[in-house]
Amino acid sequence: MKLVPNWLETGWKALTRPIAAAFVRMGLRPNHLTTLGLILIVISAIFYGSGHIRLGGFFLLLSGWTDMIDGEMARKGGMATTFGAFYDSTLDRIGDGLTYVGIGAFFLLYPADLAWRQGVVVLCMVAIVASLTVSYTRARAEGLGLDGKVGIAQRTERVLGIGAITMFGGYGYRGIVLSSVILILTLLSLITIGQRMIWVHKQTKGA
């Protein structure tokens, strides 16, 4: 089960194909877009941390789009490489952490009147661990020759969930919108970890 419906993901990918083809014709490579995606996430984290929540969401969504474009370029342009896959996955993990660092920094530095702000900072720390573990469980399963791509909250859901809601909803009244997004995504990430552990156990049962 995925939170992002297949029709939305399919439609979004359809929009990336002509752009990916144009980039290939320009001589760009997937790793160029992967690097650009990380730069956009760094910009997003800086905006989050400095209190410009809507801009942070915008640049986070933009980084997610470049992540889809580099994959399309690799597949359709015949430029998929082992290092490219490694490079893309590594920068994705860095990006996941930076997003929560930026949001955590915002709650740590700015809304001094919020009674629960310290709790949200701790929640961001938990979210970092959870998001990295979600990715690790899949990578470890696949490294053992098993299927690990299951779960309700994969990277697409995290990027869209944080990016879209904060771009349109911003900080929200007394930080309720932003802190609620982090709480929900953290819980969904923990559920996903459990789902993947159960799924891998089923595949190895009796082995």
Q: Cite the active site residues.
A: 92
Helix (H, G, I), strand (E, B) or coil at 102: helix
Give φ, ψ of 206 to 5 degrees: 90, -5
- Gyration radius of the chain's alpha carbons: 18
Q: How many residues does the chain have?
A: 207
Helix intervals (H) in 2-81? 6-25, 30-49, 53-76
13-18: long-range contacts (C-beta < 8 A, 24 or more apart)? 13/68, 13/72, 16/65, 16/68, 16/69, 16/72, 17/72, 17/76
Q: How many CB atoms lie within 10 A of CB 47?
A: 21
- Encode burial over 89-122: b for 16+ CB neighbours within 10 A, e otherwise: eebbbebbbbbbbbbbbbbeeebeeeeebeebbe
Strand segments, DSSP code E, in the chain are none
Could you tell me the two tokens for 80? 């998929």
